[in-house]
Amino acid sequence: MGGQKAFDEINNISWNFFNARTLTWNKNTGDVRIDHRKENTVFLYNTETKTGRVLKNGVEYTQQDSLDKYLNQAYEQWVNDSYWLVMPFKLDDPGVTLTYVGKMKSESGANCDVLQMTFNEVGVTPQNKYLVYIDEKTSLVSQWDYFPSTSDAQPRFSTPWLDYKTYGNVKLSGDRGNNKITDIHVFKYLKTSVYTEFKRPSFIK
């Protein structure tokens, strides 16, 4: 996929998550912008400071209880949506345990090496478990199976990882079968206002 160094060198990345919302993320500063597609709602959030601003249905929320509620939503959406896009670059994150399961076939019939991924008190849902299928021919993730609990014997769903394209110096997949991650962009530089002002940037359709 280009390697961890190439991924670390990406400054900003933007993507449309399942046609529900567009996220723009500065990986260096922790700034995240979330534009919801079907309503006039924007979250401006920093993953490091846990602070930010919220514009919901055209109204900025300043009352602390409401602000905290929506900023927590912003955090959970960023954690979830970014994982669906860049999970292969996070396999070696602190708190992640990988166990080699063996050789299995994906639902498409490809021969794969399969890793079990569990979490030690990290993330929003540390009780989850995944099986990650690495295609023997391409060395790319081609499928993951999702288990709500580590004790589950059968996955709740299996999702393909298809349609890899090169962005900057890394490869990312946007095809998740019935759902699609689209409008993927990588930027070396974005204006600070992207993360501090509610006005939608021109690159967000």
DSSP letter assigned to residue 89: G
**pLDDT score of 100:** 97
**pLDDT score of 40:** 85
22 sits in which H/E element: strand 21-26
Residue 114 to residue 58: CA distance in whole angstroms = 46
**pLDDT score of 205:** 79
Q: Give the CA-trace dihedral at 8, 13, 16, 21, to 10 degrees.
A: 100
Per-residue burial over 50-80, b = 16 or more CB atoms within 10 Å of its CB, e = otherwise: eebbbbbeeeebeeeeebeebbebbbebbee
**pLDDT score of 125:** 67
Q: What is the residue-level pLDDT of the chain in tens, covering all 205 positions?
A: 999 999 999 999 999 999 999 999 999 999 999 999 888 899 999 999 999 999 998 899 999 999 999 999 999 999 999 999 999 999 988 899 999 999 999 999 999 999 999 988 766 666 889 999 999 999 999 999 999 998 999 999 999 999 999 998 999 999 999 999 999 999 999 999 999 999 999 999 7
Pick the CATH number of 4-196 from 1.10.287, 2.50.20, 1.10.1060, 1.10.10: 2.50.20
**pLDDT score of 124:** 63
Q: Where are the domains of the chain?
A: 4-196
Contact at 8 Å (CB) between 98 and 117? yes
